[in-house]
Amino acid sequence: MASTSFTAKQRLVALAFLFSAALAFAMDRVKPFCSRFYLPLPAASVFFLLMTKFIKRDELDNRATLLIKWTFSTFVWTYWATLFGYATFYCFGVKTLTPYHCLLSYAPLLTMEFRESRNTYYGPLGFILMRFLFDAPLITTGMILREVVGLRLFTPFASILDEDIVQGSMPFPSDVKTLVEKYNVKSVINMCGEYPGPKNHYKKYGVEQLWLPRVDTTVPYVSQLREGAKFIQRRKAEEPNARIFVHCKGGIARASCMSLAHYIVNKGVRDPKKQLVWMKSKRHVVFEGVADFHSIKTLLSGDEKAAAPGFVKRGLPKQQSGQDSFPLRLQKKKS
């Protein structure tokens, strides 16, 4: 019988959650002396440490810049989760705001870590937690930092892989001009299910976008990868001297999966691990585990019957009759 063990990340997130829960309990005991403004602090105090691991450091970031990004991200995330929790429980008749509401900050992190693998799709609850307690605060933080403060939350922004592909993190309106003028980008493949992209600015600068939405930390469908590869091929024929910008939220996994699919389908690459090592030499945050993604293995094998459910514009994957899809449940990793 296979034994169940926990990864270092699982232990870290679980311990942080338990420590924050203990702080929330202590604060609840002395609530007459605590202002409601301080209620998210039990999570924020520990969550700040998690942010130092979660937010990637860019070579241009100094200590002051990092401190601003970590602090602002922690503030937005924990207060967002606290208010979201209060509004949710208020609908069920719980009208008292308590320190325990801030513990919802950990919900998406626990959801991500305590599932079988990235090849496992989220169920309805997991989808809601990721969309409202992970994507929403992160995009809000990234937008404010970039458009108001002038800092970038998700770094590095853009990495030139070759004359065809630039891979990076989600672009905001002020970034479109940079993509066009500095990186010679005329086309974009957006892998974010949580962000449609700055469409008006793309139109202004003559950039064509293909939106292939996937939930963060999940694997793109084979049909999406094929559609993306076909788009790259068409756009290179139309604009041979221009590049295609492939992005997700941080330009780590979903974007790497799409870029790798391009090299497999359009360039004939047959060794995904070797290709990912090369991609990582161009962009240091590339996730090499993409080689184990179900859709990448399917592209290499050519077994379309083993593919994940077909492309959907938004929401959860559609189950196709007679087709094996990934389980919609959360699990511990097994070893």
Segment among 89-98, 154-163, 181-190 with least mean pLDDT: 89-98
Band the pLDDT of 27: cuts 50, 70, 90.
confident
Instruction: Give the number of other Cβ atoms within 10 Å of residue 295's Cβ.
Output: 24
Cα atoms found within 13 Å of the Cα of residue 299, Cβ hemisphere only: 33
What distance in Å separates the CA atoms of residue 109 and residue 263, rounded to the nearest whole number? Answer: 32
Q: Residue 146: is it exposed, middle or buried by C-beta count within 10 angstroms (0-12/13-18/19+)?
A: buried
Rounded to whole angstroms, the Cα distance separating 140 from 58 reads 20
Whole domain around residue 192: which residue ranges? 158-306
- Which of 149, 172, 195 is the C-terminal boundary of a domain? 149
pLDDT at 316 over 50: no
**Same domain membership, residue 285 and residue 170:** yes
pLDDT at position 323 = 31
Rounded (5°) CA angle 212-311-273: 65
Contact by Cβ (8 Å): 25, 118: no
68 lies in some domain: yes
Distance from C-alpha of 143 to C-alpha of 140, rounded to nearest angstrom: 5
Q: Can you give the length of the chain in residues?
A: 335
Q: Which two tokens stand for residue 289?
A: 């585990």
Instruction: Tell how strand 185-192 and strand 208-214 pair up.
Output: parallel
Give the pLDDT band (50/70/90) at residue 32: low
| Range of weakest confidence among 14-18, 98-102, 213-217, 269-273 | 98-102
Amino acid at 9: K
Picking from 149, 184, 218, the residue at the C-terminal end of a domain is 149
Q: Among 71, 83, 76, which residue's Cα sits nearest to residue 36?
A: 83
258 contacts 212 by C-beta, under 8 angstroms: yes
DSSP single-letter state for residue 317: P
Residue 235 has pLDDT above 80, yes or no: yes
Whole-model pTM: value is 0.85
Instruction: Report residue 291's pLDDT band, with 50, 70 and 90 as the boundaries.
Output: very high
Same domain, residue pair 216 and 138: no
Q: Please check whether residue 283 lies inside any domain of the structure.
A: yes
Decide if 170 is inside a domain. Answer: yes
CA 116 vs CA 294, 300, 329, 334: distances in Å: 13, 23, 9, 7
> What DSSP element (H or E) covers 49?
helix 41-54
pLDDT tens column, 186-195: 999 999 999 9
Instruction: With beta carbons less than 8 A apart as the criterion, state whether 169 and 55 touch.
Output: no
Tell me, what's the pLDDT at 307?
Answer: 44
Band (40; pLDDT cuts 50, 70, 90): confident
Calculate mean pLDDT across residues 61-78: 87
pLDDT at 322 over 90: no
Task: List Cα–Cα distances, 270 to 166, 167, 230, 253, 303, in angstroms.
Answer: 21, 20, 18, 19, 15
Within-domain flag for 105: yes
pLDDT tier at 5, thresholds 50, 70, 90: confident
Q: Is the domain of 181 the same as that of 231?
A: yes
CB 244 within 8 A of CB 185: yes
Closest CA to 24 of 105, 103, 131: 103
Q: What CATH number is given to the structural domain containing 162?
A: 3.90.190.10
Do 215 and 258 belong to one domain?
yes
Q: Which pLDDT score is estimated for 311?
A: 34
pLDDT at 327 over 80: no
Query: Is residue 317 a part of any domain in this protein?
Result: no
pLDDT in tens, 241-268: 999 999 999 999 999 999 999 999 999 9
Residue 3 lies in a domain: no
Which residue in 218, 216, 165 sits closest to 192, CA to CA?
216
Q: Would you give the DSSP letter of residue 102? A: G
10 Å Cβ neighbour count for 334? 10
The reply to whether omega before 156 is within 30° of 0 (cis) is yes
pLDDT digits (tens, 9 = 90+) for 116-131: 788 888 999 999 999 9
